[in-house]
Amino acid sequence: MPRTATLHVPLNLKLPADRILMGKKFAHLHGTTVSALVSEVFGALGQIEAEPLRLHPLLEQLAGIVPDPGKARQDVVMEELERKYGSRS
């Protein structure tokens, strides 16, 4: 299958020296280039923007189980009891 021609545009980036070194080591270990790594990251960003982030179905089922850390335990228990059995009025 023939590859389509891709226009490559030069880009200079200013990054911390430790990140550049890490990128070069990672690229070398994986048989690629820093430019190819950056290209892959930019491509992945486009996919992330296009597809909404979804939680695993099991995590969606757990949503709301963990009480608000700003509430006292007694308030959380009372709210749950009122939700389950109705409020006393």
| CA atoms in the 13 A half-sphere facing the CB of 23 | 16
The pLDDT assigned to 43 comes to 86
Contact (CB, 8 A) for 34 and 24: yes
The pLDDT assigned to 4 comes to 66
- The verdict on residue 26 lying in a domain is yes
- Determine the angle formed by the axes of helices 34-50 and 17-29, rounding to 10 degrees: 100
| Residue ranges making up the domain that contains 46 | 17-50
- The verdict on residue 27 lying in a domain is yes
Specify the pTM.
Answer: 0.49
- The verdict on residue 29 lying in a domain is yes
Give me the sign of the Cα torsion angle 38, 41, 45, 47: positive
Number of structural domains (the chain) is 1
pLDDT beneath 50, residues of the chain: none
- The verdict on residue 24 lying in a domain is yes
The pLDDT assigned to 37 comes to 92
The pLDDT assigned to 24 comes to 95
